[in-house]
Structure 1
Amino acid sequence: MGVTSLLVAQKQMNMPTRVALHNLFRSDSTVSECLSEYDKSDEIMSTKEIFKHSSLLPPGEIRLLSLVPSSSTLNFRLITTPLSSPVPYLALSYVWGTPKTASDSSAPSISVDNQPFIVTPNLHSALTSLLTPELQSGLPIWVDAVCINQVDNVEKEGQIKQMDQVYRNSERVIVHLGDSPNPDTARAVQQLRRLGKKVWDADAVILREQDMQHWPNFDHLDDEPEEKRRRTAVRDKIFKMIKQERGGITWPRPKIPASAALDLFHRPWFGRAWVIQELVMAPDHERGDGGCVFAVGAERIRWEHLWAAHLFLVLWFILEARSIGNAKTYLGKLIAFGVYVRRIGMIPRAFSARAAQTLGLRKKYLQGELGLRLKDLLLQLYVGDSGGLLGCRYPQDKVNALRGMSSDGEMLDRFMSPGADWVDVYTSLARYLYEDGDLGFLGLCRQRNPRLPSWVPDWSQQQRPPWLGYSGDKGIPLYNAGGDTRAEVLARGEDGRVLVLKGYIVDTIQDVGSLWVADLADDFNWESAKLRIDDIDRFLSLSEKYTPQTARWRIMSADKELNDVMHQRRATQVSQESFALLESATKLYDPGAGSFGAWYLTYRNVLMSLYGSRAFISNKGYVGLCPGTADLEDTIFIPSGSHCPYAIRKQPAPASVSDAEERWILLGEAYVHGIMDGELELGKPTSGITASMFSLA
């Protein structure tokens, strides 16, 4: 199940239900807080004074740690094996943690080839927990910190390029989530294992993201009769399990310690970028031991059972929370909340949205639903409300960590050289994406490090989705402002920080309205909504291009809405009716909007997704929405082949740049009412608009 779907499902609930669910699907702040502790997780430990790898690995080979026979301690020897036909081995996935140096007396160590090897406490804990039974089974194990010479950049770069094969060719990937500090943790893993097997065996893997939106009501399904019957049967089995697992109003207690279970999904492993590849690339075994196993202390749970158990918890909590929303009175809601707490055995708190996404990515990969081009992975992992930033010590590793999973990852070799600056890596990657014809990434440049050019997405930050996105789940643009034109990106010039695009100037901004300050994570901002309506009405009164009664409600939402399964589409009468309700509500500042229904709440969420925008009017009378950073005299232009316009600002030219090479700063997407479907006929003699070349800096 996708994290965005979970968030939208929460937003569809009325306000009392959302209060009861407080932060149920919020960003994973626990993981984010933990990441500060693990920011040094990719640092190289000072091992060269104590241990030296014997020689450079030949191409296509890897080292493995093999436990010395009859050893009851962490006493290993290093062996090598060809990756194309390796000896059977395990592969470890873990969080490095804070490194220790040889001078630190508390630094733990293992023995490798009769020499001490300093390791992080996390790695020492992982190897200790795997000593029995995994390591004593005779299978060697691949551990990056030991099997790669971390002080040899040439070897390290070569090994990173084949990491996907290391995990794919293993017998099994062992994920070390950490120790089991108390009996509740061990019991939680045991119950998750029991419950996850039941849910997996119930064929829960066939459930889709859209099935989450209306849970447990599946009347929306438009599948073939047999498919609908299968999904409904799975729903009924899970519903029955919930009744069996939850606690009673007085007794018994729920079978699963929910709080301890949720703690597992907040562990730092879920917040690291590198683990995505390690989990997704784990072998897919049909046999009983599983291709990927999670270790918590002495407890083990297979990936498929952990995924299924997490799904069960989500569906269970949603079901209980919706009973609060169904109560008709305030007293009834309080009583329902009390019942909710008794049934789940804890005060409601946040799921790890990042854990939900990470576990679900392996399911998508195994089912062939995970886009494997680099651009697809970037969008799936680093764009949207996915529960917090995936951590890496070095910004360039946000890209490097996807290399093995992506079908076109080898192209990173062009600019991912040892010691390459992350700014150069991000800039070269952006140019590759644009030259590939995908100008949609221009909509991901609003949040970025000031060191980056304005046209380069900053993958070190979690990017919010573009305002003017795509329809459904097929990547079809909602708009077609560029009409029949095609993207034209000029060959690289002398300045690699400049992107030269063919485009068309639409007009210049004459005036702007107030900034929309509400965000998806905030409560709805009624004052901003009222000001937005006033701004649109004021600008429409100054323009002769539109019929105000139609234009005002379409401009308000950028002429888009969400359908029943939370996919974007162009606005319909539903949005018009929602706008009328909104306009009435702004006069009262929220008169109990929950009574208006889920469809109206969905409309409000569409408005909140336009965070950081403002209304504008241009010199020619065009009215629409532009970035909050746009101002008077900024320019609206449409790149050739683009589905939407953008706001740009002319940059004062350095003395070395001629007038013909004037440069522009990209500000962000712009919705311009009346030109979003190719009405300007760009590229045709009838358009009256001449194409120009724009140098974005």
Structure 2
Amino acid sequence: MPETQSGKLSNTTTKEYQSSTLQSRDSFRLLRLYPQTPSADIKCSLKEVNIADKRGYGAVSYVWGVPNLTRKIYCGNAYIGVTEHIHALLRRVCNSSRDVYIWIDAICINQKDLTERSTQVLLMRKIFSDAGQILIWLGIDPGPAAPAFQIISDFNVLCDKAPKGAFRDNNHERLQSAEDLHAFVQGSNGRSIANLFQHDWFHRTWTFQEAFSARPRAALVLYGDYDIEYEELSVFAVYMCSLAIQGSLQTHRARMGVNHVVKIKQYANSENTLLGLLKITHARRATDARDKIYGLASLVDPKELPYPPSYEIDDHTLFRDQAVHMIKRAGNLRLLESCIFEDTVAAGLPSWAPSWAPTDTLVTAFHHEHEPFCPGPAVDPTRTPRVDGDILKVYGAVVDAIRKLGCKMELSDFESNTTSFADHENVIELLLDRESKELRDLATAYGSPEMRELARAQTLMGGRNRDVSRADADAAIKVRNHRRVSESNGGGASFGDYSVNDRAWNDFNEVAYQLMHAADGRRLCLTKSGRLGWVPLTSEEGDAISVLSGSQAAIVLRHQEDNRYQVIGGSYIHGIMDGEALKEPGQDDQLGFLQLV
């Protein structure tokens, strides 16, 4: 395949490089950097290769930022405009004695050619998984994030040398005391780590796909003159989440950055669906909203898309067509749990078609393939969802309504440069504990005071333990231990007073984890029938609670007219998640087709 050769040029070259059309849909370009001294102009060539070719190269994962093409590199008798950000990376990877081959999208994809951009989308996973090394480029100046590289390296050394009595997670030994771990994210250490995980790279859709595709230990994080293996950073994030100490970081954004890294580690070796990946990346950003789907396309079966990626289709059309395709292909309504009412309305979509555009609202799914919930009628081929224009006809029933709502508490509002997010979490958890007790006293559906307390505890945990098994009678003990540790910490006691092998400490971590996940994007509620639950933040008193065939969550609906409803979002209503509502007298008569608009 052709290669554009570099010649000797001065930096006064005025002709801009023009990419030739790729000869095959299975081809991509590699950038060849010629040997050069640190002060010389960067000279290069571009070579077209087939995706099936095995060639040693590195792939670059980075955030574009503001596309000001203020620098030049020289290719043949022309120049390629690049940003200062990219120029600094190329300067760093150039070698004085040998050629270097790398793939970087801003140069190797003709960004002006919509057809080429569309076809290259499906090659992304192969490009990154075949790369000899992935360079995660965070930028020129790490600033206050610089100490984090040594902190994380030291932390991993300590984990490797942990006492033999420590329990294990992901084949790494853990330290004995929560205080040992907590100390790593306090004071200036915590601020440095927070600055690192707040970086845009940890919050973008494309970078998820790129890190997801990397082979083990093949990725290196570069930030100015600092570097660390991505695997080390990933292990550190897993430790933080497993002991719930990521809350010690100062901002919600830093905490989310840690969670994003953990999600990649959790899902990288699994069989994933597009809907599953869209859910776990919903809070990630993309400059082009279409990339919320296209940035994941190479990770799943192409048949999961309604048509091949095309940047000639607008995001509104893509999101609606994707929803229709998912419903028809799966024959179920699992995507309704991902609907965020205010986002679908803002996007001008039917309320049943999730907008995957970047959002500040993160909604964690209540359903799971392990012991799934099934609140609605059994799936029947004669009652599958039907799309008629902008109307989705679904089989099910309205079984309850919201009587009373808890307070709105959006975690992203709790930001501070001086106080740890854990302190805010502790306040939120105690407020939810108190609020749930007030609602519990009105929850007549559960009978005795003991059963009401158990229902409250299981509701706070979203009906599940941290290992995704169903929350059982132990939930009440776990919630009591959580409150005991929370109150002792707030009263001046130290988390270090608890061993990682202490039942109270483990219960505190588990309930804190489940509670904050259930509370993200939701608020507590009491229904007219006296049940407790979690419903979307935008729910209103009087909104209907429905159970639909093919949905693993109860769905909050808002009545419009006749038999038409808007979808507000997925919910957990304790006591109906296994079809109990349909077993009550008269409820069978309510089953029928509802129209979602």
TM-score using structure 1 length = 0.65
Q: Pick the structure with greater CA Rg.
A: 1
**2:16 alignment partner in structure 1:** 50
Structure 2 residue 369 is matched with structure 1 residue 442 = no
Structure 2 residue 46 is matched with structure 1 residue 78 = yes
Correspondence for 2:223 among 284, 296, 300: 296
**2:349 alignment partner in structure 1:** 452
How far is 1:291 from its partner? 2.1
How far is 1:686 from its partner? 9.1
Q: Is the 8 A contact 1:551 1:673 kept in 2?
A: no
Distance 1:281 1:533, change over 3 A: closer
Structure 2 residue 59 is matched with structure 1 residue 91 = yes
How far is 1:669 from its partner? 4.1
Structure 2 residue 240 is matched with structure 1 residue 282 = no
Q: Is the 8 A contact 1:426 1:456 kept in 2?
A: yes
**1:324 alignment partner in structure 2:** none
**2:6 alignment partner in structure 1:** none
**2:359 alignment partner in structure 1:** 461
Q: Is the 8 A contact 1:481 1:643 kept in 2?
A: yes
Name the aligned partner's letter for residue 279 of structure 1.
Answer: A
**2:100 alignment partner in structure 1:** 139
How far is 1:616 from its partner? 2.6
Correspondence for 1:414 among 300, 304, 307: 307
Name the aligned partner's letter for residue 93 of structure 2.
Answer: L
- Written as runs of structure 1 = structure 2, the 5 A alignment for 1:132-531 is 132=95, 137-180=98-141, 189=149, 196=156, 198=157, 202=160, 234-235=173-174, 260=192, 263-284=195-216, 291-308=218-235, 349=250, 352-360=254-262, 363-364=265-266, 368=269, 370-382=270-282, 389-406=283-300, 408-412=301-305, 414=307, 416-435=309-328, 436-449=330-343, 450=345, 451-459=348-356, 460-465=358-363, 469-470=366-367, 474-477=369-372, 479-482=373-376, 484-486=378-380, 488-493=383-388, 495=389, 497-506=390-399, 509=401, 512-518=403-409, 522=424, 523-524=427-428
How far is 1:152 from its partner? 0.9
Q: Could you say what secondary structure the match of 1:352 adopts?
A: helix
Q: Could you say what secondary structure the match of 1:615 adopts?
A: strand
Return the alpha-carbon distance in structure 1 between the equivalents of residues 435 and 24 of structure 2: 66
Q: Is the 8 A contact 1:524 1:604 kept in 2?
A: no
Q: Is the 8 A contact 2:429 2:515 kept in 1?
A: no
How far is 1:90 from its partner? 2.0
How far is 1:301 from its partner? 3.1
Instruction: Note the aligned Cα RMSD (angstroms).
Output: 4.8
Name the aligned partner's letter for residue 616 of structure 1.
Answer: T
Return the alpha-carbon distance in structure 1 between the equivalents of residues 145 and 266 of structure 2: 28
Q: Is the 8 A contact 1:448 1:461 kept in 2?
A: no
How far is 1:158 from its partner? 1.0
Return the alpha-carbon distance in structure 2 between the equivalents of residues 466 and 458 of structure 1: 16
Q: Could you say what secondary structure the match of 1:452 adopts?
A: coil
Per-residue deviation, residues 313-352 of structure 1 (Å, max 9, x unmatched):
8899959x9xxxxxxxxxxxxxxxxxxxxxxxxxx75693
Q: Is the 8 A contact 2:30 2:47 kept in 1?
A: yes
How far is 1:130 from its partner? 1.4
Name the aligned partner's letter for residue 53 of structure 2.
Answer: S
Structure 2 residue 118 is matched with structure 1 residue 118 = no
Name the aligned partner's letter for residue 394 of structure 1.
Answer: D
Per-residue deviation, residues 269-297 of structure 1 (Å, max 9, x unmatched):
2222111222222344xxxxx52222233
Instruction: State the aligned residue count.
Output: 542
Unaligned runs of 5+ in 2: 1-13, 415-423, 495-502
Name the aligned partner's letter for residue 220 of structure 2.
Answer: V
**2:595 alignment partner in structure 1:** 695
Return the alpha-carbon distance in structure 2 between the equivalents of residues 528 and 299 of structure 1: 42
**1:3 alignment partner in structure 2:** none
Distance 1:641 1:558, change over 3 A: farther
Distance 1:100 1:581, change over 3 A: closer
How far is 1:74 from its partner? 0.8
Unaligned runs of 5+ in 1: 1-47, 102-106, 205-214, 222-226, 248-253, 285-289, 322-347, 383-388, 653-658
Identity across the alignment (%): 21
Q: Is the 8 A contact 2:29 2:48 kept in 1?
A: yes
- Written as runs of structure 1 = structure 2, the 5 A alignment for 1:56-75 is 56-68=22-34, 72-75=40-43
Distance 1:428 1:114, change over 3 A: same
Distance 1:413 1:165, change over 3 A: farther
How far is 1:576 from its partner? 7.9
Q: Could you say what secondary structure the match of 1:161 adopts?
A: helix
Return the alpha-carbon distance in structure 1 between the equivalents of residues 227 and 87 of structure 2: 18
Q: Could you say what secondary structure the match of 1:379 adopts?
A: helix
Q: Could you say what secondary structure the match of 1:151 adopts?
A: coil
How far is 1:194 from its partner? 7.3
Q: Is the 8 A contact 2:129 2:214 kept in 1?
A: yes
